[in-house]
A and B are shown apart, each in its own frame.
Chain A
Amino acid sequence: MATLKDFRGDQPTWCPGCGHFSVMSSLQKAAVDLGIEPHEMGVISGIGCSGKISEYTRAYGFHTLHGRALPVAQGAALGNKDVKIIASGGDGDGYGIGIGHFIHAVRRNIDITYLVMDNHIYGLTKGQTSPTSSQGFISKTSPKGSSEQPIQPLETALVNGISFLAQGFSGNIKQLNELVKAAIQHKGFALVNVFSPCVTFNKVNTYDFYKENLIDIGAIEGYDVNNRGKVIEKIRETNGLLTGILYQEEKATFEELTPEFPEASIAKQNLHLDVNVLKAIEKQFQ
Chain B
Amino acid sequence: MKKYLMKGNEAIAEAAIQAGCRFYFGYPITPSTEIIEYMARKMQQVGGTFLQAESEIAAIYMVFGASGSGKRVMTASSSTGISLKQEGLSFLAANELPAVIVNIMRTGPGLGGLGATQADYFQATKGGGHGDYRLIVLAPNSVQEMTDLIMDGFDLADIYRNPVMILADGILGQMMEPVIFKEPEKIEIDKSWATTGANGRKRNIITSYNLHNEAGEEKALYLEQKYKGIKEQEQRWEEYHMEDAEYVFVAYGTSARIVKGAVDQLRKEGNKVGLIRPITLWPFPEKAFIPLLNRIKGYMVVEMSAGQMVEDVKLNVNGAAPVAFYSRQGGITPQPEEIIEKFNNSYHKGGEQ
Residues of chain A whose beta carbon lies under 8 Å from any beta carbon of chain B: 47, 63-67, 96-97, 99, 122, 124-126, 128-129, 131, 140-144
Cross-chain contact A65 with B80 (CB below 8 angstroms) = yes
Q: How far is the CB of A198 from chain B (nearest CB, A)?
A: 14
User: For B80, what are the chain A residues with a Cβ–Cβ distance below 8 Å?
Assistant: 65-66
Complex partner residue of A128 from B28, B54, B111, CB under 8 angstroms = B28
In B22-46, the 8 Å CB interface with A consists of 28-30, 33, 36-37, 40-41, 44
Q: Is the CB of B55 closer than 8 A to any CB of chain A?
A: yes
Cross-chain contact B40 with A142 (CB below 8 angstroms) = yes
Complex partner residue of A97 from B37, B41, B54, CB under 8 angstroms = B54
A141–B44 CA distance with the chains assembled, in angstroms: 12
Residues of chain B whose beta carbon lies under 8 Å from any beta carbon of chain A: 28-30, 33, 36-37, 40-41, 44, 52, 54-57, 80, 84, 110-111
A183–B79 CA distance with the chains assembled, in angstroms: 36
Question: Which residue of chain A is the closest to B52 with respect to CB atoms?
Answer: A141
Question: Which residue of chain B is the closest to A142 with respect to CB atoms?
Answer: B40
Cross-chain contact A125 with B55 (CB below 8 angstroms) = no
User: For B41, what are the chain A residues with a Cβ–Cβ distance below 8 Å?
Assistant: 143
| Contacts A67-B55, A125-B30, A125-B33 supplied; 17 other A-B pairs, CB < 8 Å | A65-B110, A65-B111, A66-B55, A66-B80, A96-B54, A97-B57, A125-B29, A126-B33, A128-B33, A128-B36, A131-B54, A140-B37, A141-B28, A141-B37, A141-B52, A142-B40, A142-B52
Complex partner residue of A124 from B30, B44, B56, CB under 8 angstroms = B30
User: For A99, what are the chain B residues with a Cβ–Cβ distance below 8 Å?
Assistant: 54
Give the one of A67, A128, A142 with max B CB within 10 A. A128
The binding surface of chain B is classed by DSSP as helix
26 A–B contact pairs at CB < 8 A? A63-B111, A64-B111, A65-B111, A66-B80, A96-B54, A96-B55, A97-B56, A97-B84, A99-B54, A122-B28, A124-B30, A125-B28, A125-B29, A125-B30, A126-B33, A128-B33, A128-B36, A128-B37, A129-B52, A140-B40, A141-B28, A141-B37, A141-B40, A142-B40, A143-B40, A144-B44
User: For B55, what are the chain A residues with a Cβ–Cβ distance below 8 Å?
Assistant: 66-67, 96-97
A239–B40 CA distance with the chains assembled, in angstroms: 28
User: For A66, what are the chain B residues with a Cβ–Cβ distance below 8 Å?
Assistant: 55, 80
A47–B52 CA distance with the chains assembled, in angstroms: 18
A66–B33 CA distance with the chains assembled, in angstroms: 15
User: For B52, what are the chain A residues with a Cβ–Cβ distance below 8 Å?
Assistant: 128-129, 141-142
User: For B36, what are the chain A residues with a Cβ–Cβ distance below 8 Å?
Assistant: 128, 141
A97–B53 CA distance with the chains assembled, in angstroms: 9
User: For B37, what are the chain A residues with a Cβ–Cβ distance below 8 Å?
Assistant: 128, 140-141
Q: How far is the CB of A136 from chain B (nearest CB, A)?
A: 15
A47–B114 CA distance with the chains assembled, in angstroms: 13
Cross-chain contact A47 with B111 (CB below 8 angstroms) = yes
A129–B27 CA distance with the chains assembled, in angstroms: 10
Question: Which residue of chain B is the closest to A140 with respect to CB atoms?
Answer: B37
Q: How far is the CB of B188 from chain A (nearest CB, A)?
A: 35
User: For B40, what are the chain A residues with a Cβ–Cβ distance below 8 Å?
Assistant: 140-143
User: For B56, what are the chain A residues with a Cβ–Cβ distance below 8 Å?
Assistant: 97
User: For A140, what are the chain B residues with a Cβ–Cβ distance below 8 Å?
Assistant: 37, 40
Q: How far is the CB of A212 from chain B (nearest CB, A)?
A: 29
User: For A129, what are the chain B residues with a Cβ–Cβ distance below 8 Å?
Assistant: 52
The 8 nearest A-B residue pairs measured at CB: A97-B55, A125-B28, A141-B40, A140-B37, A141-B52, A128-B28, A96-B54, A125-B33
User: For B111, what are the chain A residues with a Cβ–Cβ distance below 8 Å?
Assistant: 47, 63-65
A124–B114 CA distance with the chains assembled, in angstroms: 12
Question: Which residue of chain B is the closest to A97 with respect to CB atoms?
Answer: B55
Question: Which residue of chain B is the closest to A128 with respect to CB atoms?
Answer: B28
A128–B41 CA distance with the chains assembled, in angstroms: 12
Question: Which residue of chain A is the closest to B81 with respect to CB atoms?
Answer: A66
Q: How far is the CB of A54 from chain B (nearest CB, A)?
A: 11
User: For B110, what are the chain A residues with a Cβ–Cβ distance below 8 Å?
Assistant: 65
Question: Which residue of chain B is the closest to A99 with respect to CB atoms?
Answer: B54
